[in-house]
Structure 1
Amino acid sequence: MSPTVFIFRQYRFFFFSREEPRRHVHVRSPDGEAKFWLEPVIELAINHRFPQRELKELELIIEDKADEIRKHWDDHFRT
């Protein structure tokens, strides 16, 4: 199961239900996929095909939505 946290333009922000316990979020679009750690700081973990400029934009989106992402994470994994 991979619950969607939100969709922004062509990007889907989500996480996998049965993955590592450290908070993180995946981002997928038709052009690539990436994984960002949410703690201890927001940083890129894995990148597949996104250029650096786009990664920086994604990081800014995640920073802006960090509280929402963490809430979704906590709500999902508490159940």
Structure 2
Amino acid sequence: MPVVLRVDGFRFLFYSNEGHPREPAHIHVLRGRDEAKFWLLPEIALAYNDGFNARTLNRIGKLVGLHRDDLESAWHEHFA
């Protein structure tokens, strides 16, 4: 599970063995025991949340948007 970004205690990563067929590009965000998953395409959208409050999810969503190009590039490089 490559961590592709670390910001303010959040780890942005994806799981190498996720889904057959593979799901569309997305990123998991972890901090402590909390985890959220965001779709990167066609637009950024929350897929699920386990533990983050609404304010933190909003902040994470903004970080995903800010780093979307890098996250998407890392996804394609890893799964190429």
Partner of 1:46: 48
Residue 31 of structure 1 and its aligned partner are, at CA, apart by 4.9
> What TM-score, normalized by structure 1, do the two folds share?
0.93
Q: Name the counterpart of 1:56.
A: 58
Number of the residue aligned with 1:17 = 16
Q: 1:4: which partner in 2?
A: 3
Helix, strand or coil: the match of 1:22? coil
Structure 2, unpaired ranges of 5+: none
Task: Report percent identity of matched pairs.
Answer: 36
Distance in 1, matches of 2:12 and 2:30, equals 7
TM-score scaled to structure 2, two decimals? 0.92
**Unaligned runs of at least 5 residues, structure 1:** none
Listed one character per residue, the Cα deviations across residues 17-71 of structure 1 (whole Å, up to 9, x for unaligned) are: 1113310000000151100001111010010010001000000000000000011
Name the aligned partner's letter for residue 76 of structure 1: H
More displaced 10-residue stretch of structure 1: 59-68 or 18-27: 18-27
Please list every run of at least 4 consecutive aligned residues from structure 1 whose deviation after the TM superposition is greater than 2 angstroms.
Answer: none
